[in-house]
Amino acid sequence: MERPRVGIVGASGYSGMVAARLLMQHPYVDLSFCTSDKWTGDHVGARVGVPDPSHLKFVANARAVEASEGCRIVFLATSAEVSLDLAPKLLARGVSVIDLSGAFRLRDATLYPRWYGFPHHAPELLEKAHYGMPELCGAPPKEGLVANPGCYPTATSLALAPLLRAGLIEPTGIVVDAKSGVSGAGRQAKEAYSFAEVEGDFRAYKLLSHQHTPEIAQTCAVGSLTFTAHLLPVRRGILATCYARPRDPRATTEQMVEALRAAYERAPFVEITAPEEVTLASVVGTNMCRIGLATDGEVVLVLSAIDNLVKGASGQAVQNMNLMLGLDERIGLAGLHRSSP
């Protein structure tokens, strides 16, 4: 039986490269095209470090819609504005889209000018887009548009949402202090976010203006929260420390941990562990999310760690693709090996 064909637009960015690596080694799909203006004409396998007997070459970004002919799913590893332009064109051709940008994550179109800097001209797609966090939102439909979650919202929402849904923590006054490796700022990031500038340093960025703030609030169903992102002098990984107040001061750590375990009982990529074991080294290179919790009756402290490029981006996108195709969500992801942050 012919394998479903997939493609990637924007395959020379960090997330796009990881997506290409995962899809080229996936046993049940064929990667039929990758776009990159930077690497047009170069062999994809050579650029992403994967043997490729088909000798697939990068094509220009302008050929993305044309190249999607015959594809079941196309991954958009592009900026939000580019995704907003391309997704409707691909959907109109009957091609399903998994968008790794923030173009379709927020349900309220009026939030886009403030948080993304542009007006949203396809609000009808915000209503149709499935938010692709399978552990909290279920499997995506077999076709259509999937808004792949952001990296910080993935780490934070997986940590907080089950506790909020169970009524164990207050939905107000939540504080999230999250740290990411420099790849989280993107390959085209400003010089201040480059590894050479961050090495030996540690800084916060996008204070009170990070675009993932409303996404976390939406996913966790809270009116507001305080979110601060920091850049660590490492390449990859996110560690989020979330502070909340317990609804019942008598609730124990064991009760709250049990609520997390129950929520993720059938989630192969979430592991509940001791908070001291929530480390970057335990998740980088994998599609896993590690969560730990402690409470003293006054504060509930929840820690969460993911690889920002895998579970926080391309790995979760492949997980969504697997579910759209009716495959086991672990295919192409379960054998990933941990690597250095």
Quickly list H helices, 207-294: 212-220, 253-263
Question: Contact, 146 vs 134, CB < 8 A?
Answer: no
pLDDT, residue 189, reads 54
- The whole-angstrom separation of Cα 283 and Cα 285 is 6
- What is the spatial distance between Cα 72 and Cα 285, in angstroms, rounded to a whole number? 27
In sequence order, what are the residues at sequence separation of 6 or more whose Cβ sits closer than 8 angstroms to the Cβ of residue 72?
Answer: 4, 5, 6, 29, 95, 96, 325
Q: What pLDDT is recorded for position 223? A: 85
pLDDT of residue 90: 99
Position 53 scores a pLDDT of: 84
pLDDT digits (tens, 9 = 90+) for 46-60: 999 999 888 999 999
DSSP percent split of the chain into helix, strand, coil, nearest 5: 35, 20, 45
Return the closest-CA partner of residue 83 out of 99, 68, 95, 98.
99
The reply to whether 220 belongs to the active site is no
Q: Which of 34, 151, 220, 289 is catalytic?
A: 151
Q: Show the domains of the chain with their CATH numbers.
A: 5-128 (3.40.50.720), 152-308 (3.30.360.10)
In tens digits, what is the pLDDT along the chain, a chain of 341 residues? 789 999 999 999 999 999 999 999 999 999 999 999 999 999 999 999 999 888 999 999 999 999 999 999 999 999 999 999 999 999 999 999 999 999 999 999 999 999 999 999 999 999 999 999 999 999 999 999 999 999 999 999 999 999 999 999 999 999 999 999 998 766 555 656 665 666 789 999 999 999 999 999 999 999 889 999 999 999 999 999 999 999 999 999 999 999 999 999 999 999 999 999 999 999 999 999 999 999 999 999 999 999 999 999 999 999 999 999 999 999 999 988 777 66
pTM as predicted: 0.95
CB atoms within 10 A of CB 192: 12
- 3-state class (DSSP) for residue 317: helix
Chain mean position to CA 169: 25
CB 83 within 8 A of CB 15: no
Q: What is the pLDDT of residue 341?
A: 62
What span, in angstroms and rounded, lies between the C-alpha atoms of 18 and 39?
15
Taking every pair of C-alpha atoms in the chain, what is the biggest distance, in angstroms? Answer: 63
Question: 163-210: per-residue pLDDT in tens?
Answer: 999 999 999 999 999 999 998 766 555 656 665 666 789 999 999 999
